Chains A and B, each alone.
Chain A
Amino acid sequence: DVKVTQSSRYLVKRTGEKVFLECVQDMDHENMFWYRQDPGLGLRLIYFSYDVKMKEKGDIPEGYSVSREKKERFSLILESASTNQTSMYLCAHRTGVGNQPQHFGDGTRLSIL
């Protein structure tokens, strides 16, 4: 069974804090992704990585950075959290081969106060 684990289901942080969201997959997949999901907007891609130490900007990278030091772990970093970053954050991964689907974690609901 495909498994992707996000470190927290719910997180509350304050404006200006540096926030780390962790994602771990056990499938040895090359590609990993971070999305945010907001009502009426669907999932929007923040960053993705196709290999260790590699990263590419998605559609809304501003205010975020990422780290991929090991193949199984992809971290999303909010450098200085702001209230407009309150959202549901979803991590996903997929194999680099063919047209395989992305597999998602359960998400982290992040509130910035």
Chain B
Amino acid sequence: GQNIDQPTEMTATEGAIVQINCTYQTSGFNGLFWYQQHAGEAPTFLSYNVLDGLEEKGRFSSFLSRSKGYSYLLLKELQMKDSASYLCAVRAEFSGGYNKLIFGAGTRLAVHP
């Protein structure tokens, strides 16, 4: 079956660093996305990994280990506006040659002063 796990909630302090983990068990793995979703808003794309290693994009970095079925999103210099849900999504190929995204339930991050 397809399964994606991420913590339900996390809290952190403004200015700190936080790491949000995601583990997955899927067949036909074809990349992993991270999205940010503020309450009542659309998910917005943050990062994409398909090869092992770290992708850095400003204050946000994402890491992937395909052999371990593991990814993390690293947020540095936390700001209050980073309070949001963070969605891990695996892109998987299935029958017919189509790709689809399989989402984790999301991690709700609260940043405190």
Contact = CB atoms under 8 A, between A and B. Distances in A.
Nearest to B91: A99
Interface residues of B, number: 25
A23 to B, nearest CB: 12
Nearest to B100: A45
A48 B100 contact: yes
Contacts of A48: 98, 100
Contacts of A43: 43, 87, 89, 101, 103
Nearest to B105: A42
Contact of B87 (A42, A56, A99): A42
A50 interface: yes
Interface of B: 4, 8, 30-31, 33, 35, 40-45, 48, 50, 87, 89, 91, 96, 98, 100-101, 103-106
Given A42-B4, A42-B105, A43-B89, 17 more contacts: A40-B8, A40-B105, A43-B43, A43-B101, A44-B103, A56-B96, A56-B98, A58-B100, A99-B30, A99-B31, A99-B48, A99-B50, A101-B33, A102-B45, A105-B42, A106-B40, A106-B42
